[in-house]
Amino acid sequence: MAVDPGLPGAARTQLAVAGARATTAAALNRKGSGPRVQEGLFLALLLLAVGFALAGLAALLVWSFVEGLPRLDANLFTQGPSSLHPETAGFRTAILGSVYVIGGVIALIVPLGVGAAIYLEEYADKTRWWNRFIELNVQNLAGVPSIVYGILGLAFIVRGPLDIGFVAAAGSMTLALLVLPTVILAAREAIRAVPPSIREGALALGATQWQTVRRQVLPAAIPGILTGIILGVARAIGEAAPLLLVGAVTFVTVNPSLFEGRFTTLPVQIFNYAGRPQEVFHELAAAGVIVMLVVLLAMNSFAIWLRNHYEKKLS
């Protein structure tokens, strides 16, 4: 709208003020609850989504507990699998197998994961293409499907170059390779969070680089590294798919050992029971899930406690 330039100044100002007033009034006094209802609906939608996720988790936990409760007794830990007496069958060999396999996983991932993380954070020259390649490679490995690690285990560890056969150690190595990227990424985060001034102080006092890492950086980063290791181990405990390929599915009735004889683990045994048609095995599978969940929730809570404790100490 063009204003007639012939109007006197005072009138022009009046017109402008009136226009501004009208616009503001229109914007501010918009009666009606349209926007507010929309706001409410949107928040309700958000809460619904969060509720869905939490309800799904709650249903999973409650259902497993209710379904498996009748079988939660000593037999679960003292008896092996049995088709003849399903009402007293248990998870003894599977739990022992898991202990062996996870023991091997821990022995492998702690030195390898922490070593790789220290190299990438403290030693690697980021301008070199091979170091950037290693970094990208670790990120990519974290996204490789677990069953592909099973294929790797079958071709390289069970047969092929290592040729150790379908034994628990093959399961350990396969799972260790599977969770290594997770551990490396978490350990790197923890090491990166150590303030550079600590390193600079140590170096300025004449410490060598390894002395700096060993006595200053690592102690400060330990809680974060430990959290990463716990999460990696927790993942390994629940993982079944790659183990199917490296031999852990058979009906194992004798206690396993690391380097000879077939083995099975808790999640694989649960899968085995779950696939049978009889109802009694489903209860048994659910009881196995309870055992697994109790272990995992304990580890998770410890990791969360560790993180919170550490955060408080820093701030």
Partner 1 sequence: MAGRDITASGSRATDGRPRLEAVSPRYGEKAIFALLALCAAISVATTLAIVISLIVPSIGFFGEVPFADFLFGTDWAPTFADATFGVLPIVVGTLTVTAWALLVAIPVGLLTAIYMAEYAPTRVRRVVKPVLEVLEGMPTVAIGLFALYFARPLLEDIFPFLPWGGPFAVGVAGIAVGLMIVPLVSSVADDAMRSVPAGLREGAYALGATKMKVSARVVFPAAISGIVAAIVLAASRAIGETMVVLLAAGATPQLVAPWDFTESIQTMTAFIGTTATGDIATGTITYDTIFAVGALLFVMTLAMNMLAIRLVRRFREVYE
Residue ranges in 206-235 that form contacts with partner 1 under rule CB under 8 A: 208-210, 212, 231, 234-235
Selected from 3, 22, 46, 298, the binder of partner 1 by CB under 8 A is 46
The SS3 of residue 248 is coil
Site string for partner 1, 268-287 (x = CB under 8 A): x-xx--xx------x--xx-
Q: Are 244 and 267 in contact (CB under 8 A)?
A: no
Please report how close the Cβ of residue 194 comes to partner 1 at its closest, in angstroms.
Answer: 14
Q: Is the Cβ of residue 3 or residue 44 nearer to partner 1 in the bound state?
A: 44
Please report how close the Cβ of residue 282 comes to partner 1 at its closest, in angstroms.
Answer: 6
- DSSP letter string, 106-129: HHHHHHHHHHHHHIIIII--TTSH
Residue ranges in 233-272 that form contacts with partner 1 under rule CB under 8 A: 234-235, 237-241, 244-245, 249, 267-268, 270-271
Q: Determine the length of the chain.
A: 315
Reference 184, options 104, 112, 105, 242; nearest CA is: 112
Residue 154 contacts partner 1 per CB under 8 A: yes
Q: Are 237 and 288 in contact (CB under 8 A)?
A: no
Tokens representing 288 are 């196995």
Q: Mind spelling out the 3-state secondary structure of 123-162?
A: HCCCCCHHHHHHHHHHHHHCCCCHHHHHHHHHHHHHCCCC
Other Cβ atoms closer than 10 A to 209: 13
Q: Is the Cβ of residue 220 or residue 231 nearer to partner 1 in the bound state?
A: 231
Selected from 177, 190, 191, 226, the binder of partner 1 by CB under 8 A is 177
Q: Is the Cβ of residue 15 or residue 151 nearer to partner 1 in the bound state?
A: 151
Residue ranges in 12-31 that form contacts with partner 1 under rule CB under 8 A: 27
Please report how close the Cβ of residue 4 comes to partner 1 at its closest, in angstroms.
Answer: 32
Reference 79, options 100, 94, 59; nearest CA is: 94
Residue ranges in 124-153 that form contacts with partner 1 under rule CB under 8 A: 124-125, 133-134, 136-141, 143-152
Q: Is the Cβ of residue 39 or residue 87 nearer to partner 1 in the bound state?
A: 39
Please report how close the Cβ of residue 211 comes to partner 1 at its closest, in angstroms.
Answer: 9
Selected from 19, 70, 103, 160, the binder of partner 1 by CB under 8 A is 160
Please report how close the Cβ of residue 21 comes to partner 1 at its closest, in angstroms.
Answer: 17
Please report how close the Cβ of residue 208 comes to partner 1 at its closest, in angstroms.
Answer: 6
Residue ranges in 51-70 that form contacts with partner 1 under rule CB under 8 A: 52-54, 56-57, 59-60, 63-64, 67
Site string for partner 1, 80-99 (x = CB under 8 A): --------------------
Alpha carbon distance 244, 265 (integer Å): 10
Residues contacting partner 1: total by CB under 8 A = 95
Q: Are 100 and 168 in contact (CB under 8 A)?
A: yes
Contacts of 125 (CB under 8 A, 6+ apart): 131
Alpha carbon distance 246, 174 (integer Å): 8
Alpha carbon distance 44, 258 (integer Å): 53
